[in-house]
């Protein structure tokens, strides 16, 4: 059975061995039991979540609101969900004095968060235009570095951040890639793209790179495996070990991208994400409805 319908417009689904969490477009946070039934629903902070991950069953998230000029990074305890302040309080008091409810630690950000990655007990965060920070599980900065700028000296927008051994790999909107370590910064082989990169997803099969013209490129060991042109923007991506394929939930379509080609199922729904819950892959659409993924 698919999980119960989500009561808000979903944006992303986070899954770990400890917890399943659905994030909403307005900052909602819903925790699910292992069988997909709702456990709780709250809104720790009244502005959109722009990046998030899970750490030991807690939510680590970056919030950003351009109108209020507020950005914040926090680790939130999901075991005891609490209702956060309303938007009027943030507007009145600002980010320096308002915090997400249930936070273990919380930091106001002085620039727009571009990408974030949670790995074990560390968080890496990229801020516009060239800030890069590594933070421990207690919210303490471990080290920082400047993201290298382009050849013309202009900043390169980071669209993806991934941990790789003893370094963090950043992918830029122009397709360039950089490895950041505490003592070294290394330019990597760029993605072979003609249009700006908007999304990168990683899995055991390598990585899936999606560009603004809706072309999905499967890259493994820096070699192109397969490309597919999609019908529109991608909501979410999941690597399936069972199918040895990428599951892509997108604009009125669901796609399974295999090494020998791809299958497409069209419909009327706009899919927000795809996730594996209790051993079954499900997509969730913008109405909050779940559906088992085709095979």
Q: What's the CA gap between 52 and 135, in Å, rounded?
A: 14
| Average pLDDT in the chain | 95
pTM equals: 0.95
The pLDDT-based confidence of 189 (bands split at 50, 70, 90) is: very high
Within a domain: 32: yes
Query: Which of the four pLDDT bands, split at 50, 70 and 90, describes residue 17?
Result: confident
Other CB atoms within 10 A of residue 64 CB: 20
**How many structural domains does the chain have?**
1
* pLDDT for residue 127 is more than 90: yes
- Residue 288's H or E segment, with its range, is none
Whole-number pLDDT of residue 232 = 96
Question: How would residue 286 be classed by pLDDT, with cut points 50, 70 and 90?
Answer: very high
Alpha carbon distance 72, 63 (integer Å): 5
Tell the burial category of 32 from Cβ atoms under 10 Å away from its Cβ (0-12, 13-18, 19+). Answer: buried
Q: Indicate whether 175 belongs to any domain.
A: no
For residue 60, the 8-state DSSP code is E
Is residue 139 one of the residues assigned to a domain?
no
pLDDT at 34: 81
pLDDT at residue 97, as a whole number: 83
What CATH code is carried by the domain that includes residue 13?
2.40.128
Task: Provide the 3-class DSSP secondary structure of residue 238.
Answer: strand
CB count, 10 Å around CB of 70? 21
What digits encode the pLDDT tens for the residues 42-59? 999 999 999 999 999 999
Domain membership of residue 90 (yes or no) is: yes
Give the pLDDT band of residue 86 (cuts 50, 70, 90).
very high
The answer to whether residue 95 scores a pLDDT higher than 80 is no
* Domain extent at residue 94: 8-108
Conformation bin of residue 36: beta by default, left when phi > 0, alpha when psi is -120 to 50: left
Is 200 within 8 Å of 185 (Cβ atoms)?
Answer: no
Return contacts of 219-228, CB within 8 angstroms, 24+ apart.
219/191, 222/189, 224/192, 225/259, 226/257, 226/258, 226/259, 226/261, 226/262, 228/255, 228/257, 228/262
In our burial notation (b when 16+ CB lie closer than 10 A, e otherwise), range 176-186 reads bbbbbeeeeee
Average pLDDT over residues 102-117: 97
Least confidently predicted of 94-98, 161-165, 217-221: 94-98
DSSP 11-49: EEEEE-SS-EEEEETTS-EEEE-TTS-EEEEE-SSSS-E
Answer whether residue 95 is part of any domain.
yes
Per-residue confidence band for 139, with pLDDT thresholds at 50, 70 and 90: very high
Provide the 10 A C-beta neighbour count for residue 187: 10
Q: Reply yes or no on whether the pLDDT at 205 is more than 80.
A: yes
Given a contact cutoff of 8 angstroms between Cβ atoms, the answer to whether 179 and 188 are in contact is yes
Q: What integer pLDDT is reported at residue 84 of this predicted model?
A: 94
**Please, what sign has the CA dihedral across residues 6, 12, 13, 18?**
negative
Answer yes or no: are the C-beta atoms of 116 and 164 closer than 8 Å.
no
pLDDT of 206-240, one tens digit each? 999 999 999 999 999 999 999 999 999 999 999 99
Q: Is residue 184 part of a domain?
A: no
Residue 50 resides in a domain: yes
Instruction: Write down the pLDDT at residue 294.
Output: 83
> Within a domain: residue 287?
no
The CA distance from 58 to 121, in Å, is: 11
């Amino acid at each position: 059975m698919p999980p119960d319908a989500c009561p808000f417009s979903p944006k992303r689904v986070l899954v770990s061995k400890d917890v399943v969490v659905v994030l909403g477009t307005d900052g909602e946070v819903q925790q699910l039991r292992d069988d997909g039934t709702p456990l709780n629903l709250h809104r720790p902070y009244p502005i959109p979540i722009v990046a998030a991950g899970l750490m030991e069953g807690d939510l680590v998230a970056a919030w950003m609101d351009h109108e209020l000029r507020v950005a914040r990074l926090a680790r939130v305890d999901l075991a005891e969900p609490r209702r956060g302040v309303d938007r009027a309080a943030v507007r009145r008091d600002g980010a320096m004095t308002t915090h997400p409810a249930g936070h273990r630690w919380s930091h106001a950000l002085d620039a727009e968060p571009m990408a974030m990655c949670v790995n074990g007990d560390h968080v890496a965060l990229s801020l516009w235009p060239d800030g890069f920070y590594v933070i421990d599980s207690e919210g303490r900065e471990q080290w920082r570095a400047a993201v290298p700028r382009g050849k013309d000296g202009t900043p390169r927008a980071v669209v993806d951040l991934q941990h790789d051994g003893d370094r963090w790999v950043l992918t830029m909107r122009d397709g360039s890639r950089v490895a950041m370590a505490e003592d070294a910064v290394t330019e990597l082989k760029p993605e072979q793209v003609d249009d700006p990169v908007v999304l990168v997803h990683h899995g055991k099969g390598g990585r899936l790179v999606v560009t603004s013209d809706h072309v999905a490129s499967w890259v493994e060991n820096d070699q192109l495996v397969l490309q597919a042109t999609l019908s529109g923007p991608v909501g979410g991506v999941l690597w399936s070990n069972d199918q040895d394929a990428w599951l892509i939930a997108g604009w009125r379509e669901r796609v399974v991208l295999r090494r020998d080609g791809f299958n497409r199922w069209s419909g009327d729904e706009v899919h927000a994400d795809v996730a594996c819950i209790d051993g079954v892959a499900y997509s969730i659409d913008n109405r909050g409805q779940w559906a088992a993924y085709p095979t």
